[in-house]
Structure 1
């Protein structure tokens, strides 16, 4: 028959084990919360950047007093300046990198290049997917993402505990 103290020792060991499990679970929940906070801040900054880009300044107007030179034949009326045409080439480099890091951090798992490309707003064309692959390979060389199987990428383990703000690492507390 077990003595009273042996039974107390056993019960203490069980409770200590439960406390350790709860501490581990709490640490994992805190880490997840920190990742979500980083994701929210990054998404908010991306949305702010996009809305700021939408506000284009008005085109300069010519003054009403401007007159063409009088010497020689009168030239045709001046044409208003055209808006510059910029070919749609997909997501810009900085924006793509930011979106990739946010996506992979929030996913917490490996993702295919094609799925990453579509999720960050690229067209599903081979050219845009290869551009995304190139960007992911570059991020892998920098240690920000890792490539498991060919074409499958995930956030690097060290990036999960470090937020990236404007291209600089910001340690979490």
Structure 2
């Protein structure tokens, strides 16, 4: 139905750029429901511009479109927009290949039994590189020994080693 409307207007070919913008906004509305509020703001700006230029026909068209948009915005849309505003923005993680970056960490869940786990994960493939049980992960010689054994096993040194901000890997 909308595409027929666009086709009829395109045949006349005597419309202004504002009308083209309105049609573009309508198509965006059909493609993505999330853009409703942005579309609403743009329409309000266009309303102000048209009021200043005193173009009544376009103003009436825009008011009808604005009413239609206001009727289609539901409570679910508002909840979705509020939730997405407070969502954490994740960083893009890039890695150049296997063993380029490894991530190491110590786990102290079994310290009451005198056991501490220490592990590493490859940043590219997410494969577990080692998981060792030690008596302490605060002793840097133990962690260094595990790392040296790993380097001997794979025959190369990782370019980047990442760990958390704790003190066990110092």
**Shared fold (TM-score, shorter chain, > 0.5):** no
TM-score (norm 1): 0.24
Q: What TM-score, normalized by structure 2, do the two folds share?
A: 0.24
Higher-RCO chain (CA-CA 8 Å, sequence separation at least 6): 1
More strand by share: 2
